[in-house]
Amino acid sequence: MPVPEAVVFDLDGTLLDTMTVVPAAYVRVIRELGGPDLTPQELVAAWHLGPSPAVLAHFLGRETTGDDLEHFYARMTECAAATRLFPGITGLLRALRDDGYALAVYTSATRRGVGATLARTGLTELVPVVVTGDEVARPKPAPDGLLDTCRLLGIPATAAAYVGDAETDLQCATAAGAIPVHARWSSHTISAAGFGYAAERPGDVRTLLAGLGATGATGAR
């Protein structure tokens, strides 16, 4: 296995503790736009369909309009004020950067949807490369977005680890040839057995990568 040179992170439920406020905001928007009453669990189960317009269209039973999206982004702006990084994430990112790893985010969310949150939480400074779901051809678990992220980093996907809380994240990593790491520190994390590497706490990611480097080829970090 190649020694990892970069760490790519999912956003919601991995770096950001959003798995309560964001699904609730989606549920509210869909109801306000004339869609069905949903549970947050039903909403999250459909996130693999793609970025926000695709998820909204699925539940509304029609194409989303510009007005629909403006309403949605207004609700997401409200959520941004309540969004926090998981404890330990800032320290992890700084430590990985100091260790020499390139850092990036690949999220299914849209660029507009995450812009304010990235800036407010300091992720823009810590993670210079961000690829969003509306910028890729196919959503997770397809590897497209992760492959695009690695191209921006200037490395092959086989030299990257992808850290995510959902099974689709781990499937995406596997499809791209990257190292899948299951982020298990969220209380909303689902079981994703069979993907090899698991991090119970953010700091475990650094420990895991150090272990991979130590067992890798000559010249590993």
**100 CA to centre of own chain:** 21
Three-class secondary structure of residue 138 per DSSP: coil
Residues 191-211 have pLDDT tens digits of 656 666 999 999 999 999 999
User: How high is the pLDDT of residue 83?
Assistant: 84
Residues 107-134 have pLDDT tens digits of 999 998 888 889 889 999 999 999 999 9
User: How high is the pLDDT of residue 115?
Assistant: 85
Please count the residues of the chain: 221
80, 194 in Cβ contact below 8 A? no
Q: What is the pTM of this model?
A: 0.83
User: How high is the pLDDT of residue 76?
Assistant: 81
- Report, as residue numbers or ranges, the catalytic residues: 10
Q: 12-26, 157-171, 181-195 — which is least confidently predicted?
A: 181-195
> What are the tokens at 5?
């040179």
Choose among 136, 168, 140: nearest CA to 152: 136
Residue 9 backbone class (left: φ over 0; alpha: ψ -120 to 50; beta: rest): beta
User: How high is the pLDDT of residue 5?
Assistant: 96
User: How high is the pLDDT of residue 218?
Assistant: 33
- List alpha helices for 39-156, DSSP H: 40-44, 52-60, 66-80, 89-99, 111-120, 123-126, 144-153
Integer Cα distance of 84 and 16 in angstroms: 6
For the chain, list the domains and their CATH numbers.
6-18+84-214 (3.40.50.1000), 21-80 (1.10.150)
Integer Cα distance of 140 and 51 in angstroms: 10
Contacts of residue 184, defined as CB under 8 A and 6 or more positions apart, other chains included, come to: 165, 198, 199, 200
User: How high is the pLDDT of residue 116?
Assistant: 80
Give the pLDDT band of residue 101 (cuts 50, 70, 90). very high
Integer Cα distance of 100 and 201 in angstroms: 21
Whether the pLDDT of residue 25 is over 50: the answer is: yes
The pLDDT mean for the chain works out to 90
